[in-house]
């Protein structure tokens, strides 16, 4: 089974590339983030024509998540247990489904903006809700993985120059502690193998030639329980998909399993 995650940074803008990538990479399950469309506006027809079922969750703003599966899609859950709101609105940032006997969650963790910003406190509360959901969904009967844009670099080595991030989000102790809490709940960080470069970055800003310079970050993560982790045969970042005109600023992360 091949399971992947990709922040597409607008499914409408990325639709031709998404359809082409589904055809070439052939994932059995694909978790998407940052749809920037409503649930109804998701391109269901184009995707289902390729043999995928779709569970989408979006409001048309700067978020939205989906799961695409060609190995079955059931027990869909939109949102986390006791999920916090921001500005009195529960944002569409998490969706779970069971696909081919594997429980997967597609998550788009809040950015946090700045450690002094209310969005940062919201991010930490949201991560607490994610942990509670993971604990509630842990089962010996099915492997489980949480995939998506976590907006956190787990270690200093997961950014191109840690000295440039002093006082910034994505690398703070509190954010990294939230990842440690997920690991304490029984999840493992499935780190993609480096292909061209030493570090398997997943995100490069559009500005200042960040991609050609490889000034990137590893913030698109796969956190998996023991059964899922034990079945992993390969994991890599499809860096080629970040190249060219009309690319997302994130690259897909692909995990192959033997179940």
Tell me whether residue 250 is annotated as binding.
yes
Sheet containing 220-224: which strands, arranged edge to edge?
Answer: 74-78, 94-99, 102-108, 144-149, 220-224, 188-189
Q: Which two tokens stand for residue 208?
A: 């200042």
* 249 marked ligand binding residue: yes
The token pair at 36 is 């920037």
Instruction: Report the relative pairing of strands 29-33 and 220-224 from DSSP bridges.
Output: unpaired
Q: Is 149 annotated as a binding residue?
A: yes
Residue 120: active-site member: no
Which of the residues 149, 158, 225, 238 is marked catalytic?
149
In DSSP terms, which residues pair with 38 in a beta bridge? 59
Is 34 annotated to bind ligand? yes
Q: Are strands 144-149 and 102-108 parallel, antiparallel or unpaired?
A: parallel
Backbone angles phi, psi at 214, to 5 degrees: 60, 35
Q: Does 203 participate in catalysis according to the annotation? A: no
Helix, strand, coil shares, percent, the chain, to 5? 25, 30, 45
Catalytic residue among 52, 108, 201, 223: 108
Enumerate helices (H) and strands (E) in the chain, giving the number of each: 6, 14
* Residue 44 labeled ligand binder: no
CA 250 to chain centre: 10
250 noted as active-site residue:
yes
Annotated binding site for Mg(2+): 7, 34, 149, 151, 249-250
Annotated binding site: 7, 34, 149, 151, 249-250
Tell me which residues are annotated as active site.
108, 149, 250
């Amino acid at each position: 089974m091949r399971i992947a995650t990709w922040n597409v940074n607008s499914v409408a803008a990325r639709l031709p590339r998404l359809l082409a990538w589904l055809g070439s990479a052939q994932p059995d399950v694909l978790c998407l983030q940052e749809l920037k469309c409503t649930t109804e506006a998701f391109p269901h027809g184009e995707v289902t024509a390729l043999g995928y079922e779709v569970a989408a969750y979006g409001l048309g703003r700067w978020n939205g998540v989906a799961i695409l599966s060609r190995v079955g899609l059931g027990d869909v859950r939109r949102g986390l247990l006791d999920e916090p709101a921001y500005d009195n609105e529960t944002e569409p940032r998490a969706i779970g489904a069971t696909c081919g006997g594997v429980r997967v969650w597609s998550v788009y963790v809040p950015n946090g903006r700045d450690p002094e910003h209310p969005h940062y406190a919201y991010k930490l509360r949201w991560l607490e809700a994610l942990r509670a959901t993971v604990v509630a969904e842990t089962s010996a009967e099915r492997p489980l993985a949480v995939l998506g844009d976590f907006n956190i670099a787990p270690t200093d080595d997961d950014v191109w120059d840690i000295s440039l991030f002093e006082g910034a989000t994505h690398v703070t102790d509190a954010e990294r502690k939230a990842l440690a809490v997920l690991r304490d709940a029984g999840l493992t960080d499935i780190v993609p193998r480096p292909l061209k470069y030493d570090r398997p970055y997943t995100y490069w800003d559009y500005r200042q030639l960040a991609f050609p310079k490889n000034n990137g970050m590893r913030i698109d993560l796969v956190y998996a329980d023991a059964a899922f982790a034990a079945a992993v045969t390969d994991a890599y970042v499809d860096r080629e998909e970040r190249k060219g005109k009309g690319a997302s600023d994130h690259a897909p992360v692909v995990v192959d399993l033997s179940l």
